[in-house]
Amino acid sequence: MKTQKFLLATAAAVLLAVASSRLSAADAAKEVTLNGNMVCAKCVLHETKECQNVLQVQQDGKTVNYYLAKNGVSDNFHDQICGTQGEKATATGAVSEKDGKEILTASKIEPVK
């Protein structure tokens, strides 16, 4: 009886480890890297009442605006672009859609040199 419980517990632990590694890989696969011009939605685009980073990306001959979700990564980059015409940047993060707008929750932003 003890052996069966031990084997069952071991099998459950292995299944849990495999499932959690697959979830982590799926989460990482959802992240994208985008290149474009980072501008302020308030100061440059005049679309918001408060400052917000927007990454403008050229896709299929059109400009697509990715509004960056407010987080530490986005906030740390904002001083570089606010009050200017923007800066070329590469942003990595998860993309979602809200109210017809593309939202990028950035995990990393780097200026393009």
pLDDT digits (tens, 9 = 90+) for 6-65: 545 554 444 445 555 444 444 545 899 999 999 999 999 999 999 999 999 999 999 999
Residue 40: inside a domain? yes
Q: What is the CATH number of the domain that holds 71?
A: 2.40.50.140
Residue 101: inside a domain? yes
Q: If DSSP codes are grouped into helix, strand and coil, which group holds residue 31?
A: strand
Residue 24: inside a domain? no
The reported pTM is 0.73
Total domains in the fold of the chain? 1
Residue 103: inside a domain? yes
Residue 9: inside a domain? no
Residue 78: inside a domain? yes
Residue 82: inside a domain? yes
Query: What is the span of the domain harbouring residue 89?
Result: 32-111
Residue 68: inside a domain? yes
How distant, in Å, are the alpha carbons of 40, 93, 101, 105 from that of 89?
13, 13, 20, 15
Q: Which tens digit of pLDDT belongs to each residue from 79-103?
A: 999 988 899 999 999 999 999 999 9
